[in-house]
Amino acid sequence: MNPKLDLIFSRRSIRQYQEKDIDPGLVQDLLEAGMAGPSAVCKDPWHFIVIRDKSLLAVVAEGLPNGSMLATSPVGIVVCGDLEEAHDGLLSYLLQDCAAAIENILLAANALGLGACWLGVHPREERIAHVRAALDIPDHVIPVSAIAIGWPSESKSKRTRFQKNHVHLERW
């Protein structure tokens, strides 16, 4: 692993957090990092719902089968995409744009010493409906994911998931 890429290799899904608040300035940094991501034709269809209220975090977590850590995190960010703002109104572009923003937030959290975990919402209709209802999200806006964020109370070693058999040179 190239040490210049430690930020990437050390980014891991962190599911256990200290009971310690996150400064609003750091949350702002995460949002700015997310919005620095690329988007198709610079449409930036993403919207971010920042949740600090513990009871609301618990409600959202209830609808995410693998999302119990969201209820114990000091901050959750729900990443949504607006179909009316997406390039050509296409879901595929919206999802790619939101995924780029999500990865930027995850890398920024790691760079700031925070732990984060990406929780899938889209394409599971029951999850989308639950998050939409819990957060009053309009119909043309799609909740794509939730990110649990906190000061880590667990550590994981850096790693690569490189698989040579998944690399094709020139052609398949």
Q: What's residue 98's pLDDT? A: 98
The answer to whether position 25 is within a domain reads yes
The answer to whether position 1 is within a domain reads no
Q: What's residue 114's pLDDT? A: 98
- Helices 54-62 and 125-135 cross at an angle (nearest 10°) of 160
Positions in the chain short of pLDDT 50: none
Three-state secondary structure of 39-92: CHHHCCCEEEEEECCHHHHHHHHHCCCCCHHHHHCCEEEEEEEECCCCHHHCHH
The answer to whether position 168 is within a domain reads no
The answer to whether position 108 is within a domain reads yes
Phi, psi of 121 (to 5 degrees): -115, -65
The answer to whether position 145 is within a domain reads yes
Residue 6 identity (one-letter amino acid): D
Please say whether the beta carbons of 78 and 127 come within 8 A. Answer: no
The answer to whether position 89 is within a domain reads yes
Residue entry with tokens 């700015």: 32
Q: What's residue 145's pLDDT? A: 98
Q: What's residue 164's pLDDT? A: 97
In whole angstroms, give the CA distance from residue 97 to residue 113.
Answer: 25
The answer to whether position 169 is within a domain reads no
Q: Maximum CA pair distance of the chain?
A: 52
Q: What's residue 78's pLDDT? A: 99
**CATH number for the domain harbouring residue 70:** 3.40.109.10
The answer to whether position 60 is within a domain reads yes
